Structure 1
């Protein structure tokens, strides 16, 4: 019996020794996987780069290389414009771009921002620029001759591009300044965060869905970046060295363009060569620049550019006795890129919020979800502390002769509208103010300064968004994807019950036929929907601001506005629309996809989806094309649906593909999936990537 006990003890010791050895081997293998000896890019069959960096610098270097392989010509052209030298490189058509960039002080500020980075992060940006230049040397034959003049890229170029995109396109652009309008751009975004209590699986889910133009600096680039302490998947805009929308095994976030006022135009009174401020004449600061402009024969001409500034900011217009100065938030916040990088490295809500508190990102709503089941909506941005006025007041011209209107400080993070884990179990944003992110209302406008965000009117796309979430108490991952592709027109849901009987009563024969078509239409903008074209043409004919008899109400945000204010004029507009549709297409029940198209290269596919103003969640913006057709030019771009299960489940799509470089097989290779309302599986594990491997590059 004693001998048997001894044998058992020896057996357990031997087993423990074996288990310890196994654990050591597993641990060693795990550490090797997390910190590879070499850096490599695994390209999957959709042209998505999966970057494995032996350290952060190596990952940044590989990301610079990857962006060049996918978008070299575009990236170099964008960086050339950010320098304010595009007219010198490519001619007079870029002159206005250069004037804008230089007047906004982008190159000089880019230099100071680069110098302000921590030594470690500065080395990361250096590595990204090095990756761009290394690719260019290795593959000069694949890059257009006309953009090679931008090489070599300097780290400062990265910050110049960031500023041009983020501050002087998204926050404010030349057209807004010229018109003095704070209106949001045509393209927008959708974002959802769903808590476990509202999810069929009991896991939190996130939907990322920006809508931007399908060209130029608005293009998204999808990637996975793995390095010590980092394993993030997502997308960023071409030329940006970190992911701007991303998720990891623990959490994820998306951005939407929020109703954020980050700029103001000040009207100055001129006197004695300067401007009046608090009863005294102040001198302008002035910088004399010379713009070189390349001519068609290869020669150059020079044009002077005088950049004048007041205490408010750069002078953008000057007339006898008056001048307009532009003030934009964020010139003192050089940490945007590091904040995005650290957001992607965060592992829980506490860490994520700590990074957000830096307030380096000047705008964008943050929609967040994580594995622990938390969801959050943050109205993020640099919001000036203003002494007076509501949101509408600050959309106008601001008197610049008094310090009372000159803001100098920003609201801290604690002042910004946010909600974490609302009672509803869901959050949405479709470019509406934060007050309508969920119902019952969780963020109350009365609790914030009147200038924080506008009051009133929840747009139809946001109403459709909220309705889909509110009407399904337990949403599955598959249902979230299905809802994302919804083309139902909320405007049609609201108005057809009044328009159809009015047309049958007041209309002529053509108008009554049109009413019958609208009566049988499914109120969607699918490729085969008949009636959608007619309705959209009718919407173009009416006065949107005066069509409804019942205005939008904060008390009934999801059912107003409603009712026809003037049925006879609405019927007359339908007659005009029906006449136009029949003349253009030979019939008034033409299918949506016959008129609205997805075109790229040799692809010419029927579209589904349409303008957000019609209350369509699946947004596509179109431009006129040949033969009375319309071609998609903006809208749904990057889509990612994420469920924080273990392991994380994710699907994504980049509508126009992950490359623009001539010869790439990934130009528009995802467009057929887009036309079929499908997302692709996201491959994140090494085994999945190797099973769908197109190319491996080791560095």
Structure 2
């Protein structure tokens, strides 16, 4: 570079020019080295679980299989008895393990071919993901070997757990509980499901901080296979926080530093019942007789004395699917989507690993998830609503047609293909700056309308109506042009009854004009009522009971109208009849509780072990966003059994701001301090801070498990 004469340079070195020329390059090298060293140091030498004071496992895996193994261990520590119970049922051997009460469950699982399909699905996994499933099962089994005293003896019969058990459970949950509920199949009707959810995505233009926000809020029963498990999983290539259903080895609702999503149960029709015409030993199809494929299962049923009774159970399969009922020369066969989609878990894993909208959509495009709305937000400010699912391509009929039993003697009604990703209703970054879904059709996700029903097949989703919870949801978002993180959480806990705003203005004056004294006193209570279902709301019990005794389908003077989806229905069609019902209900309430204006929380309770707290929230059909469903108890009160379960509020600021709650706590194992330990927060309408970095977690550390 330089020439020297007599130890002197031919040209003097101008060091300031050299540094100016090469300094950016040198700084770049230094930056790369620093980042590389940080990346290397961020991968722990061992795998560990840091348990925080709410029983949330924060898993740090030095590689992906070890992270899966730790997650299996964590689920056993928190929910071991439940997990093994669920896996035993997914095998179709629950009656053999636990007796006659589980026989119908076994028959359902075997009829739908769950255990056999699990083996096919396992073989179809990528080699890497197959190793992850092995590791998850190994974590379950390792925990059981190390802590046999912490697991109930009656569920140990399920051990050891296999990767196929995990996939059997996944099928039973997703395909044969969510897509098609066995309880609904009993009478072969598409009835309204108790499975629900709220989801919001708010763009920077409507956020007070200028950052996108996400609200995750599924509503499920507070037990059995519907129980949420909250966790953080950190391993090379992933650092995600969220929740999944017990027994599922990946997060189903999650967020990371760059993006997040939630699911809602969408108005998706992924199953149909077909009426077959039986002839000879088969069924008629396109003018020809087709034979059934028959499979026989030998069921062992445990008796109360410990002995076993054996029973042969036969399943007949048609082109449409398995026969679920047969009599008087007719049979009904069930067809369910998703049975050839073994990549559900890997898709969820890759969604949680994604860092931007492009990567996230690439994972979604696989269409392995059989159903569920996807509500999405990210750090770059994008928001998205996807009507996700496997939607059959149907030759005829609208949504209502496919809710009925379908003729099974012709290929014209037998669907075989699914709509590709591009066909599904979807909106990204709508002009409104907000998206909502409360299990309503995609057409009402935002206003002005961004997804138009006319652009999609009439069988894709129903045209309406927009129920009161969806109207309440849209109203809160539309009426606030600058929503803060704290306001989003406050809205999430709203117990305002949208239905009351539509109907009380007619009911109260009608009752006040009656000579019936109890009707007039009831009107006085309703006049003073705050129209909420908070614990101290007086009048909510009266109104709630009145609506429950009303024929809501014929109650309104103005029916729901697609042109006014957010303000109809409205008004009372028959005020005189409505007042009579009010008087009867009021008399019963006064007799039962001693007063007409009994507080909501005195009647509706939150209970778990030694916890007994006044509840807030109620039935979403009455327009309450804070959904809680109650069941009657022996003392004349009602106990929360369903509804708000896992909640997460996320703002994609730097760093990400997040709060969450798992209503019933993050454990069910006996003697765990985390059974019901979040109900106090639930009662106060609060969320807890989410701890995501090691400094926060160790500051609230309860236990450390090192592998």
Q: TM-score range by the shorter chain?
A: over 0.9
Is residue 436 of structure 1 aligned with residue 420 of structure 2?
no
Q: Distance in 1 between matches of 2:428 and 2:16?
A: 55
Q: Any conservation in 2 of the 1:55–1:228 contact (CA below 8 Å)?
A: yes
Identify which of 303, 315, 318 aligns with 2:311: 303
Q: Distance in 1 between matches of 2:161 and 2:20?
A: 62
Identify which of 75, 90, 101 aligns with 2:98: 90
Runs of 4+ in 1 over 6 A off after TM superposition: 4-22
3-state DSSP of counterpart to 1:522: coil
3-state DSSP of counterpart to 1:179: coil
Paired residue for 2:682? 674
Q: Distance in 2 between matches of 1:20 and 1:37?
A: 28
3-state DSSP of counterpart to 1:530: coil
Q: Any conservation in 1 of the 2:197–2:264 contact (CA below 8 Å)?
A: yes
Paired residue for 1:122? 130
Is residue 663 of structure 1 aligned with residue 686 of structure 2?
no
Q: CA deviation at 1:576?
A: 1.1
Cα distance change on mapping 1:508 and 1:370 into 2, 3 Å: same
Q: Any conservation in 2 of the 1:206–1:641 contact (CA below 8 Å)?
A: yes
Is residue 503 of structure 1 aligned with residue 524 of structure 2?
no
Is residue 615 of structure 1 aligned with residue 632 of structure 2?
no
Paired residue for 2:71? 63
Is residue 628 of structure 1 aligned with residue 633 of structure 2?
no
Cα distance change on mapping 1:507 and 1:420 into 2, 3 Å: farther
Paired residue for 1:218? 226
Q: Any conservation in 1 of the 2:195–2:265 contact (CA below 8 Å)?
A: no
Cα distance change on mapping 1:14 and 1:108 into 2, 3 Å: closer
Is residue 585 of structure 1 aligned with residue 600 of structure 2?
no
Is residue 286 of structure 1 aligned with residue 294 of structure 2?
yes
Paired residue for 2:201? 193
Q: CA deviation at 1:27?
A: 3.0
3-state DSSP of counterpart to 2:186: helix
Paired residue for 1:642? 650
Paired residue for 2:397? 389
Q: CA deviation at 1:626?
A: 2.1
Q: Distance in 1 between matches of 2:363 and 2:452?
A: 25
Q: Any conservation in 1 of the 2:393–2:415 contact (CA below 8 Å)?
A: yes
Q: Any conservation in 1 of the 2:207–2:213 contact (CA below 8 Å)?
A: yes
Paired residue for 1:357? 365
Q: Which moved more, 1:184-193 or 1:324-333?
A: 184-193
Q: CA deviation at 1:430?
A: 0.2
Cα distance change on mapping 1:391 and 1:8 into 2, 3 Å: closer
Q: CA deviation at 1:15?
A: 10
Paired residue for 2:253? 245
Q: Any conservation in 1 of the 2:208–2:483 contact (CA below 8 Å)?
A: yes
Q: Distance in 1 between matches of 2:400 and 2:650?
A: 37
Q: Any conservation in 1 of the 2:519–2:579 contact (CA below 8 Å)?
A: yes
3-state DSSP of counterpart to 1:482: helix
Cα distance change on mapping 1:272 and 1:547 into 2, 3 Å: same
Q: How does 1:401-480 map to 2 (within 5 A)?
A: 401-480=409-488
Paired residue for 1:113? 121
Q: How many residues align?
A: 697
Q: Distance in 2 between matches of 1:482 and 1:696?
A: 34
Q: Distance in 2 between matches of 1:70 and 1:337?
A: 21
Paired residue for 1:367? 375
Is residue 202 of structure 1 aligned with residue 197 of structure 2?
no
3-state DSSP of counterpart to 1:98: helix
Is residue 488 of structure 1 aligned with residue 465 of structure 2?
no
Q: CA deviation at 1:628?
A: 1.1
Q: Any conservation in 2 of the 1:507–1:572 contact (CA below 8 Å)?
A: no
Q: Distance in 1 between matches of 2:439 and 2:294?
A: 38
3-state DSSP of counterpart to 1:66: helix
Q: Any conservation in 1 of the 2:296–2:312 contact (CA below 8 Å)?
A: yes
Q: Deviations over 1:53-102 (max 9, x none)?
A: 11111110100000000000000000000000000000001011000000
Q: Any conservation in 1 of the 2:212–2:381 contact (CA below 8 Å)?
A: yes
Q: Distance in 2 between matches of 1:129 and 1:507?
A: 69
Q: Any conservation in 2 of the 1:82–1:157 contact (CA below 8 Å)?
A: yes
Q: How does 1:561-600 map to 2 (within 5 A)?
A: 561-600=569-608
3-state DSSP of counterpart to 1:391: coil
- Relative to the length of structure 2, the TM-score reads 0.96
3-state DSSP of counterpart to 1:386: coil
Is residue 258 of structure 1 aligned with residue 266 of structure 2?
yes
3-state DSSP of counterpart to 1:480: helix
Q: Distance in 2 between matches of 1:100 and 1:33?
A: 50
- Relative to the length of structure 1, the TM-score reads 0.97
Paired residue for 1:53? 61
Paired residue for 1:144? 152
Paired residue for 1:168? 176
Paired residue for 2:521? 513
Is residue 557 of structure 1 aligned with residue 565 of structure 2?
yes
Cα distance change on mapping 1:507 and 1:74 into 2, 3 Å: farther
Paired residue for 1:236? 244
Is residue 44 of structure 1 aligned with residue 52 of structure 2?
yes
Cα RMSD, aligned residues only: 1.8
Any stretches of 5+ residues in structure 2 without a counterpart? 1-11
Paired residue for 2:335? 327
Q: Any conservation in 1 of the 2:300–2:309 contact (CA below 8 Å)?
A: yes
Paired residue for 2:167? 159
3-state DSSP of counterpart to 1:572: helix
Q: Distance in 1 between matches of 2:595 and 2:190?
A: 40
Q: Distance in 1 between matches of 2:18 and 2:451?
A: 65
